[in-house]
Structure 1
Amino acid sequence: MSTAAPDPSAELNLRGTPCPLNFIRSKLALEKLALGAWLQVDLDAGEPEQMVASGLREAGQYVEVEALEPGAVRLLIQRLG
């Protein structure tokens, strides 16, 4: 498996977007990508991060979480199905 950072095909900035709207927008953006493509999503840390990451993992996607500045995270999501 490669250790190189993925090159996202699309990016979303959903900081300040409430749940579940941030999950819905992430899922819709992911559905537009080809299988194997990556989506980068910037979110507020805490509940938004947990809801979006867990929801997409439950849907069968691969999710990496990176910390940004305090209170913010970046999800790198690979579309697997």
Structure 2
Amino acid sequence: MTFVRVRLALDRLPPGAILDVLLKGDEPLRNVPRTAAEQGHQVVSQAELPGGVTRLVLRRKG
């Protein structure tokens, strides 16, 4: 479900735009970066934050 929300957010952005995503939990951390890359988006960075949160920065394809 998390990637569905990320995908909808990416779809609203112009090509090349940046999306900053906060993820919590193992499943979103495994699935969101992988699925985004499979769909042609670029994973710009991924960083662990306090409290078990991961900050993922994606660039929309295009």
Check whether TM > 0.5: yes
- Partner of residue 74, structure 1: 55
1:27 counterpart residue number: 7
SS in 1 for 2:14: coil
Higher alpha-carbon Rg = 1
Unaligned runs of 5+ in 1: 1-20
Higher helix share: 2
Q: TM-score under structure 2 normalisation?
A: 0.89
Q: Percent identity?
A: 38
List structure 1 runs of 4+ shifted beyond 6 angstroms. Answer: none
TM-score by length of 1: 0.70
Q: CA RMSD in A?
A: 1.1
- Which one scores higher on RCO, CA 8 angstroms, separation ≥ 6? 2
* Cα displacement (A) at 1:69: 1.0
Q: Which of the pair is proportionally richer in strand?
A: 2
